[in-house]
Amino acid sequence: MLITSAEFVTSAARIEQCPPPGRPEFAFAGRSNVGKSSLLNTLMNRRRLALTSATPGKTRLINFFRVNRRYLLVDLPGYGYARVAERERRSWRPMVEGYLAGRETLKAVGLLIDIRRDPGPEEELLLRWVASRGVPAFVVATKADKVSRNAQETRRSRIAAGLELDPEEVLLFSAKTRLGRKELWHVLAGYAAPEDERA
């Protein structure tokens, strides 16, 4: 997709702090350091609009970005990082659960998983939450550049099997090589309702 504008909107810790719902919205979830903020920057063709870090636990709040005045993209805080303070770890679940439960314009959630990892209980739980809200979810295998082309396919199959999906349902992505960027925009546009597309 041609990006004509991309801007940070706001950070929220609770549903009341989220921007007024309007445009079709897509949220990205996954373990700390999996590459959520990097994926958003790649989607938006911006280097540092979403702040990234080699140290896990960079994104602690729900961050909203507006693209082409048409979509809202949401960077959710990551889970599973042991060194994040206990207080923040306890706040993660109500924050993310509250957001997923209460956001009526949420069209789909992307669950990110590092291509080198197998899905664990956190990923299964997240997919269950999202499904229980009636929101569609899709899976993105991140950092695909870290493994060979052959290994990309074996890893994709493993991740899919772990989540009881078909391999085609797992998108390969790299913020480094931009692999999968076009396909991901295509997936997102498909989830936006036709009436939103026209608006």
Contact positions vs ligand GTP (CB under 6 A):
32-38, 52-54, 56-59, 78, 142-143, 145-146, 174-176
Residue 92 corresponds to which tokens in the numbers above? 């993660």
3-state helix, strand, coil in the chain (%, to 5): 40, 20, 40
Smallest distance from ligand GTP to CB 108, Å: 18
110: helix, coil or strand?
A: strand
Residue 142 lies near Mg ion (rule: CB under 5 A): no
Q: Shortest distance, CB of residue 125 to ligand GTP, whole angstroms?
A: 17
Shortest distance (Å) from residue 71 CB to ligand GTP: 19
Is-contact 29 90, C-beta < 8 A?
A: no
Nearer to Mg ion, 58 or 66 (CB): 58
Please pick, from the candidates 6, 24, 35, 37, the single residue that binds Mg ion as defined by CB under 5 A: 37
Asked if residue 7 lies in contact with residue 44, where contact means CB atoms within 8 angstroms, the answer is no
Smaller CB distance to ligand GTP: residue 31 or 158?
31
In the list 23, 58, 103, 143, the residue contacting Mg ion (rule: CB under 5 A) is: 58
Cβ burial of 101 (10 Å; 0-12, 13-18, 19+) is middle
Nearest residue to ligand GTP on Cβ basis: 78
Our finding on whether 33 is near Mg ion (CB under 5 A) is no
| Segment (H or E) for 67 | strand 62-67
Alpha carbon 145 to chain centroid distance?
18
In the complex, the residues that contact Mg ion under the rule CB under 5 A are 36-37, 58-59
